[in-house]
Every structure is written in structure tokens, then in C-alpha cells.
């Protein structure tokens, strides 16, 4: 296997991005015939068919998609290296590809992300929301979040922070069922539970005013798979639920939710950032990861 020309990688990536040889040629300023020759040279060097060509359309092979993800990373690394050697090395630019939990929508991450991007106008960010583990290398991702201590030692793990959700419910629900005075009072309430590990939570680890963790048995007829449905259910008056302070503060200011047991909170999960080895040294990736950590701090305050 031999790759002799970095330009061939750029041609291949552009073909996949644009969908045709002619469109790739227009972007790169090359005639379609030259684009075709460079693609053929790349495939010959790899001894693998990357794109099946017919007179009507192109079809990316399975090997082609795998190679495409790696090519994007290689080209991004090369662009970063070139940038670091120029006079513009202090400018944050390029693209960051990240996978974030769906719960971040309810936590206001898009508003915060706009401020971050306003500070760095030459930065492009590609976001995918997912609560499932992703293959960072195959997907060409720069940063992905992980709940709990990661088992994969092939990536760099950066602790972002822990969530300390607070208890809340609508005023109408609390007027009907009464305000809990002690964490154990939750046993008699409708608690909106989340799925964890494929099963509804049966207890909440509540940290009381003395800093002691009380494992409170909870039950309720409504079980939610994500924070968006949980938040909506809480605001609809289904019962008592757990929310990060950032999300609760907004609902409280709007008069939708009331905090329950204000001197208590739940002992929540710790969130880590997973970064492919080597990508953590790229300035924009490191900067984005630091921003994620600072955003996590705001969720509990």
C-alpha cells in the first residue's frame, strides 16, 4: 500500500463531500479528467476500490467510507500543524466535530455555544446529539462525552464535572400532594424516574443538608428516557423530578416549577470528554474541551 501524494487525499475527500467528480473539480479548480486520474492513482496505490463509478452515479464503498473518515482527520491535523507554524497561530479556526448528550439541549448548551462561537468567528462546530457510545476514529470525531469513568484507554479522557440535580415540581402538584419536608417523604410521592442501564431508577441518592447520602426508594407511573421528556413531564405536573440547577433556574423564574427540599441535591453522574490520542494537542480541540468543562460548572450553580 502506497500513498505518494497528499493532494490525492484532498481530491478523494472533496469527491465524497460534493458527490460528483465534476463538482469536486469545480471546488478544487481542477478539470474532471484530472480529478478522475488522481482518484484512480490513489486507489491503485491502496489496492482498494474506494468509489464505484457508473455513467449515472457514484457509490462509496465500505472501505471508502472508512478511509474517508481517516482522511478527514489526517487533513485536519495537517491544517492544524500548518497553522501553528504561521503568524496566525493565535487564531482559532478550523472545524471541531463533537458528540454531546441529548440532555445538553435542556441545559441550554446551544445558547452557551453561540457565545463561544461568537468569540471565535473562524471556528466551525459540527454537533451530533447522542446518548450512545460512538466510535471516535471511525466517525472522525474530535470530542465525545462519556458518563462515568471510561474503560477505553486508547483515548484521552478529560473530566468535565459532575451533575448535582435538584428536586422540583409544579406549584399545582405540590398544592395537591403536599411539600416534602424530608428526603424520605419522597417515598409517598409520584416521582418521575429516568431509565438507567435499561431499567427505571428504583432509588435516588439524595445528599441531605448534613452532606449524608440517603438512598431514597422512589416510584412513579411515568418513566422518561431523556431529559427533554423529563423536563416536559415535570412542567406538566406529573410529579417530582430531578433537574440540574441551570435548567431549574429558568423554569423557576418563569413560575413553572418550584424547588423541593432546597438544601438537598442528588448525587449525579460524572461526565468525561473522550478525545482521540493526539487530537487533545490540537489547540481548537483543547480550547473546546476547556469550554465544555466551564459550561458543566455553570449547571450546578
CATH of the domain at 131: 3.40.190.10
Closest CA to 39 of 76, 74, 7, 69: 7
Question: Total domain count for the chain?
Answer: 3
Q: What is the per-residue pLDDT for 87? A: 44
CA 301 – CA 296 distance, rounded (Å): 10
Which grid coordinates belong to 240? 417530582
Closest CA to 288 of 120, 133, 102: 120
Say whether both 157 and 273 belong to one domain: yes
CA 204 – CA 241 distance, rounded (Å): 10
Decide: 260 and 180 in contact? Cβ < 8 Å: yes
Q: Digits of tens for pLDDT over the chain (301 positions)?
A: 567 788 899 999 989 988 889 888 888 888 989 999 999 999 988 989 999 987 678 889 999 999 998 888 888 778 766 665 554 455 688 899 999 887 777 677 888 899 999 999 989 999 998 877 788 887 889 999 887 777 767 788 888 888 889 999 999 999 999 999 999 999 999 999 998 778 899 999 999 989 999 999 999 999 998 888 999 999 999 999 998 887 888 889 899 999 999 999 998 878 889 998 878 788 899 899 999 998 888 876 6
Angle at alpha carbon of residue 21, lines to 19 and 22, rounded to 5°: 105
Say whether both 158 and 275 belong to one domain: yes
Say whether both 187 and 258 belong to one domain: yes
pTM attached to this predicted model: 0.61
Domain of residue 121: give its range. Answer: 91-163+269-299
Within a domain: 1: no
Give the helix ranges, DSSP H, for the chain: 6-18, 21-28, 32-46, 62-84, 103-106, 109-119, 136-139, 171-177, 227-235, 245-253, 283-299
Within a domain: 260: yes
Residue 75 neighbours by CB distance under 10 Å: 14
Angle at alpha carbon of residue 273, lines to 70 and 265, rounded to 5°: 155
Residue 141 exposure: Cα atoms within 13 Å on the Cβ side: 22
Report the CATH number that the domain containing residue 230 is assigned in CATH: 3.40.190.290
Q: At what angle do helices 62-84 and 283-299 cross, to 10 degrees?
A: 100
Please identify, among 26, 48, 83, the residue that sits at the C-terminal boundary of a domain.
Answer: 83
Say whether both 44 and 117 belong to one domain: no
Angle at alpha carbon of residue 52, lines to 34 and 127, rounded to 5°: 90
Closest CA to 147 of 135, 128, 130, 123: 130
Please identify, among 43, 63, 83, the residue that sits at the C-terminal boundary of a domain.
Answer: 83
Say whether both 155 and 103 belong to one domain: yes
Report the CATH number that the domain containing residue 57 is assigned in CATH: 1.10.10.10
Amino acid at each position: 500500500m502506497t500513498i505518494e501524494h497528499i493532494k490525492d487525499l484532498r481530491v478523494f475527500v472533496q469527491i465524497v463531500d460534493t458527490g460528483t467528480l465534476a463538482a469536486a473539480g469545480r471546488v478544487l479548480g481542477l478539470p474532471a479528467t484530472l480529478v478522475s486520474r488522481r482518484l484512480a492513482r490513489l486507489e491503485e496505490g491502496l489496492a482498494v476500490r474506494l468509489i464505484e463509478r457508473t455513467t449515472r452515479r457514484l457509490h462509496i464503498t465500505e472501505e471508502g467510507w472508512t478511509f474517508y473518515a481517516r482522511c478527514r482527520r489526517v487533513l485536519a491535523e495537517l491544517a492544524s500543524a500548518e497553522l501553528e507554524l504561521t503568524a496566525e497561530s493565535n487564531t482559532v479556526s478550523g472545524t471541531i466535530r463533537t458528540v454531546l448528550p441529548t440532555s445538553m439541549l435542556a441545559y441550554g448548551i446551544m445558547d452557551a455555544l453561540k457565545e463561544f462561537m461568537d468569540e471565535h468567528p473562524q471556528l466551525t462546530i459540527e454537533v451530533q446529539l447522542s446518548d450512545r457510545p460512538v466510535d471516535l476514529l471511525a466517525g472522525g470525531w474530535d470530542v465525545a462525552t462519556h458518563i462515568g469513568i471510561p474503560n477505553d484507554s486508547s483515548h484521552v479522557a478529560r473530566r468535565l464535572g459532575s451533575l448535582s440535580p435538584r428536586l422540583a415540581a409544579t406549584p399545582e402538584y405540590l398544592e395537591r400532594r403536599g411539600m416534602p419536608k424530608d428526603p424520605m417523604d419522597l417515598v409517598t410521592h409520584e416521582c418521575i424516574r429516568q431509565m438507567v442501564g435499561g431499567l427505571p431508577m428504583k432509588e435516588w441518592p439524595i445528599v441531605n443538608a448534613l452532606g449524608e447520602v440517603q438512598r431514597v426508594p422512589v416510584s412513579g407511573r411515568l418513566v422518561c428516557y431523556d431529559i427533554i421528556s423529563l423536563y416536559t413531564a415535570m412542567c406538566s405536573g406529573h410529579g417530582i423530578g430531578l433537574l440540574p440547577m441551570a435548567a431549574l433556574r429558568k423554569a423557576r423564574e418563569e413560575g413553572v416549577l418550584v424547588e423541593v427540599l432546597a438544601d438537598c441535591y442528588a448525587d449525579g453522574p460524572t461526565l468525561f470528554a473522550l478525545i482521540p490520542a493526539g487530537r487533545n494537542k490540537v489547540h481548537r480541540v483543547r480550547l473546546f474541551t476547556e469550554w465544555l468543562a466551564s459550561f458543566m460548572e455553570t449547571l450546578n450553580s
